[in-house]
């Protein structure tokens, strides 16, 4: 493989720690719960997108680009970290956010502003077109824009989670633990594609279970083909002979709730349990939904008491401040 030869820009200190959650394990009567703390990456209040951005910005710099352009929701963790990474790399940043500009910005949006990103607001249906328009207008004034897809989830960004799985393999060997499953939030696909491919490469035998935040297995736009396409493009990019099929991906779509970025009791209960038992914060949109689903699966007996499960915390805690009123009412 040619992982070491790909362009990469250093953004954070790895490996991120793995912690045993003794109090939560006791509260739920097993399985043994460990947590991989990608919320502790040092850039811009942390999160998993940093791993992807190292490779995306590496390519942008190799191509002599001077401006990062990406898109997301108004509380996008990916956009917040892209804005932070742009500053570290000496690049400008334009963000296309679906939503209405608030009178008082908070959460991730406030951090976008602090990092000096230029923000373009639009309706969700217009976001993809607006992203291209912003890039075209920058090119017209002789800027050199580098487009990053939503979530950084393409064959470039997802390499970051192949390297993350290599990192994990070394850590669990040193800790002498053998997780029966890895559980994490999945949405745009890059994290799950990279982790699942990385599991194949490292010989990890456990389940690599993505708990869907907003995607489904069926319908007009099913998710497994997206995961397969990203993973195989990554494999080709890094020079691996492995090819994935849809059946290689483990996906749970039972916890979609009221929809994307609409947290409910499941999410707020998970935020409460982690904060009360372990002093760890979850983001209300991604990690709280995934943790809520994971804890519900424990209650239902999906995981047995004698198993070991690693929950991969992908970050998102700055979003909590955008949900202050709901947190006060429900926690």
CA distances from 201 to 137, 148, 238, 298 (A): 42, 26, 11, 28
Closest listed residue to residue 163, CA positions, set 3, 323, 331: 3
2-11 burial, b at 16+ Cβ within 10 Å, e below that, comes to ebeebebbeb
**Residue reference for tokens 């690049």:** 91
Distances (CA, A) of 34 to 28, 183, 258, 289, 306: 13, 10, 28, 17, 13
For residue 288, the number of C-alpha atoms closer than 13 Å in the C-beta half-sphere is 30
* Distance between CA atoms of residues 260 and 321, nearest Å: 17
- Spatial distance between the Cα atoms of 237 and 229, rounded to a whole number of angstroms: 12
Verify whether residue 76 is a known catalytic residue. Answer: yes
Among residues 42, 76, 240, 304, the one annotated as catalytic is: 76
Give the integer Cα–Cα distance in Å for 84 and 159. Answer: 20
Distance (Å, rounded) from C-alpha 164 to C-alpha 30? Answer: 26
- Catalytic residue numbers read 76
């Amino acid at each position: 493989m040619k992982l070491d030869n790909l362009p990469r820009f250093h953004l954070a200190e790895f490996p991120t720690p793995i912690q045993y959650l003794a109090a939560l394990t006791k509260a739920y009567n097993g399985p043994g719960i460990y947590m991989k703390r990608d919320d502790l990456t040092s850039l811009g209040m942390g999160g998993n997108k940093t791993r992807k951005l190292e490779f995306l910005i590496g390519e942008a710099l190799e191509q002599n680009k001077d401006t990062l352009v990406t898109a997301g929701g108004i509380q996008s963790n990916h956009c917040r970290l892209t804005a932070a990474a742009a500053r570290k790399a000496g690049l400008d940043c334009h963000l296309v956010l679906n939503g209405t500009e608030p009178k008082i910005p908070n959460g991730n949006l406030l951090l976008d502003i602090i990092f000096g990103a230029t923000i373009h607001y639009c309706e969700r249906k217009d976001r993809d077109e607006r992203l291209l328009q912003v890039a075209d207008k920058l090119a017209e004034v002789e800027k050199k824009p580098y487009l990053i897809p939503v979530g950084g989830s393409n064959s470039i960004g997802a390499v970051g989670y192949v390297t993350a799985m290599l990192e994990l393999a070394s850590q669990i060997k040193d800790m002498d633990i053998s997780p029966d499953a890895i559980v994490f939030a999945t949405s745009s696909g890059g994290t799950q594609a990279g982790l699942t491919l990385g599991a194949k490469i490292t010989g990890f035998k456990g389940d690599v279970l993505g708990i869907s935040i907003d995607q489904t297995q069926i319908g007009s736009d099913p998710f497994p083909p997206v995961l397969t396409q990203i993973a195989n493009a990554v494999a080709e990019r890094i020079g691996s002979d492995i090819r994935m099929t849809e059946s290689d991906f483990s996906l749970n779509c039972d916890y979609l709730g009221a929809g994307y970025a609409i947290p409910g009791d499941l999410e707020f209960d998970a935020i409460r349990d982690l904060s009360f038992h372990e002093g760890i914060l979850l983001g209300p949109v991604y990690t709280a939904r995934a943790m809520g689903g994971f804890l519900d699966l424990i209650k239902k007996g999906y995981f047995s008491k004698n198993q070991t499960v690693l929950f991969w915390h992908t970050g998102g805690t700055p979003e909590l401040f955008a949900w202050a009123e709901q947190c006060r009412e429900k926690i």
